[in-house]
Structure 1
Amino acid sequence: MSLVNLDIELLRTFVAIVERESFAAAADAVHRTQSAVTQQMQRLETQIDKPLFRKQGREKRLTEDGLKLLEYSRRLLALNDEACSAISGSTLTGEVRLGAPVDVADSMLPNLLQRFSKMFPSLRMTIDVGRSPFLMEAMKRGEIDMAISPREHPEFRRITLRTSPAVWICAADYRYDRTEPLDLIIADEPSLFRRTALDHLERAGIAWRITYVAPTLPGIRAAVRAGLGVTARSVEMMSPDFRVLGELDGLPRLPDVTYNLYLGAAPNLAARRLFDSLEAVRM
């Protein structure tokens, strides 16, 4: 296929169809009739000489080529809009509501906020620090626009921020007696790290007992610092007065934890443009 110049207007309509999950909803978003949107997609398919959609029952799903084009379309649109803003002297304004778990508030969050500020200095950020499951629920309800989470949520667009080792953490002077059940410090439900710890101990056949349950990370830190037991967390929780127990101590290896930045299903315009710009430059 010879190289062609993709039409930005057609790509914008294409992305709108995917994000709003119908041609009719996309037509409202781009201020066109549904028949005009259909014609635009026919033109785009002609340009790339590939079908973008396939029928599945009464619905239309993206083909493999459609999925490939979607990724590039979002990046091209973000770069196009950023270039237009820079040339015109306009800037992204408004408020973006971001949720972040306590685990990353002191580690990756400052760098992320710094990046936001450099890209769009007039943007106002509202930060909600809390537990990941509750932040994701808040994003689903539209109370926040974006959230950082180590959980898998394939229904939302995401950018991977960091993959960190998960480890067994205890106080520096804590002594683990392998002849006794492991003293566990865990969060109450729902908790990814709680489930990970219990699953891996069960698989390894290691006896355990819960000595402390906390609803927040500061509570878990306090219990670990007091020498009440061991907890499973990502390395972001480490501090000079903690140490790591590993396979040499008889504990199973834990899987790495991937932190993703998720975009809600109905974010405001500022949040959408910010996310698109971040995605375009591949943080």
Structure 2
Amino acid sequence: MKPHLDIDLLRTFVAIADLRTLGRAAERIGRTQAAVSMQVKKLEEMLNQPLLHRSGRGVTLTLHGERLLGHARALLQQHDAAVADLSGSGLRGTLRFGCPDDYAAAFLPEILRSFAGQHPQVLVEVHCAPTPRLQAQLQRHRLDLALVSTADADGAAPVLRREALVWVGNRHDPAAAREPLQLALSDPDTLDHRAACAGLDAAGRPYRVAYASGSMSGLLAVVRSGQAIAVLTQSAVPADLQILPAADWQLPALPTVGLQVGFDLPRPPELVSAFAEHLRRVLPGL
């Protein structure tokens, strides 16, 4: 008898693959960690293959686990799309969503993939820009909602997640040791730019903003060249760059920023509210 790939088991497996711990996966799917562990064991026994490497720091996928992941994502998307279409439970329409570049790289793939599974008839238009530009577009009703950065002291809307700002440099070029310090920063009105300059001013360390732009790819290119260091949210730091410990390089400590959802209307329509609720549910666990 051929193995049967149960949808619930696959959904649990994908959650584990995304979150890299059984505990966080259990929270996402609403089960206990023991139940999640049993589901993984059942899936491994069914396929007669090990799917996870377990360690004290979490889990990673085996070669067989990586192969299963691609199939699992495709099967879940088709399953959820069929249920939404035939039951009439899925929403329809076009959604204009804004997101800063650093959050787009770190979070958007999973956010969009999981929302599309629930509402396959929705087209999400993604607009990437720094937070001040996104807020301006919301005010002009050019976006329906946006994920924006805010200082911790701002309490206008619930904070979905907090992100540490960190100093980032090239692994092979000690740009942080140069005097004056060369910086690659976002636009002057963004939180990371203001935090870097305020911290360095307070510490009395000479610096020069060598590159300022709202383009994340441009900032990363300058840092990779070894000509400057940057300030990024920790989740957005690429694997080929390094976080520079502030104390080791005589750099000022940086604050954290909060992630909030902003709307163009005080009473958003159903589609916008559904996507916002999806952000509130998924983002904290990524």
TM value normalised by structure 1: 0.61
Aligned to 2:276: 275
Question: In structure 1, what residue type is equivalent to 2:170?
Answer: A
Taking the aligned partners of 1:278 and 1:223, their CA distance within structure 2 comes to 32
* Unaligned residue ranges in structure 1 (runs of 5+): 1-84
Aligned to 1:254: 254
Taking the aligned partners of 2:100 and 2:250, their CA distance within structure 1 comes to 30
Q: How does 1:1-283 map to 2 (within 5 A)?
A: 89-151=88-150, 155=156, 157-158=157-158, 160=160, 162-176=161-175, 178=177, 180-246=179-245, 247-265=247-265, 267-276=268-277
The higher radius of gyration belongs to 1
Deviation at 1:271, TM superposition (A): 0.8
Which whole-Å deviations, capped at 9, do the CAs of 1:139-159 have from their partners, x for residues lacking one? Answer: 12111111011125755x556
Distance change >3 Å, CA 120–CA 159, structure 1 → 2: farther
Question: In structure 2, what residue type is equivalent to 1:97?
Answer: R
User: Sequence identity of aligned pairs in percent?
Assistant: 26
Distance change >3 Å, CA 172–CA 282, structure 1 → 2: closer
CA RMSD, aligned part only? Answer: 2.9
Aligned to 1:41: none
Which whole-Å deviations, capped at 9, do the CAs of 1:165-198 have from their partners, x for residues lacking one? Answer: 2111111112146572211112233221110100
Contact 1:97/1:146 (<8 A) preserved: yes
Kindly tell me the number of residue pairs found equivalent between the two proteins.
197
Aligned to 1:19: none
Deviation at 1:137, TM superposition (A): 1.1
Taking the aligned partners of 2:226 and 2:283, their CA distance within structure 1 comes to 41
Question: In structure 1, what residue type is equivalent to 2:126?
Answer: I
Taking the aligned partners of 1:210 and 1:218, their CA distance within structure 2 comes to 17
257-266 or 103-112: bigger deviation:
257-266
Taking the aligned partners of 2:278 and 2:230, their CA distance within structure 1 comes to 37
Question: In structure 2, what residue type is equivalent to 1:184?
Answer: L
Deviation at 1:276, TM superposition (A): 4.7
Taking the aligned partners of 2:139 and 2:210, their CA distance within structure 1 comes to 34
Distance change >3 Å, CA 205–CA 170, structure 1 → 2: same
Distance change >3 Å, CA 207–CA 279, structure 1 → 2: closer
* Unaligned residue ranges in structure 2 (runs of 5+): 1-83
Taking the aligned partners of 1:97 and 1:260, their CA distance within structure 2 comes to 16
Taking the aligned partners of 1:103 and 1:282, their CA distance within structure 2 comes to 14
Question: In structure 1, what residue type is equivalent to 2:276?
Answer: F
> What is the SS of the residue equivalent to 2:150?
coil
Question: In structure 2, what residue type is equivalent to 1:248?
Answer: D
Contact 1:158/1:263 (<8 A) preserved: no
Distance change >3 Å, CA 170–CA 92, structure 1 → 2: same
Aligned to 1:16: none
Distance change >3 Å, CA 90–CA 168, structure 1 → 2: closer
Taking the aligned partners of 1:243 and 1:142, their CA distance within structure 2 comes to 38
Taking the aligned partners of 1:164 and 1:282, their CA distance within structure 2 comes to 12
Taking the aligned partners of 1:218 and 1:280, their CA distance within structure 2 comes to 29
Taking the aligned partners of 2:283 and 2:212, their CA distance within structure 1 comes to 38
Distance change >3 Å, CA 171–CA 158, structure 1 → 2: same
Distance change >3 Å, CA 179–CA 159, structure 1 → 2: closer
Distance change >3 Å, CA 275–CA 159, structure 1 → 2: farther
Distance change >3 Å, CA 159–CA 117, structure 1 → 2: farther
Distance change >3 Å, CA 200–CA 121, structure 1 → 2: same
Distance change >3 Å, CA 118–CA 172, structure 1 → 2: same
Deviation at 1:102, TM superposition (A): 0.8
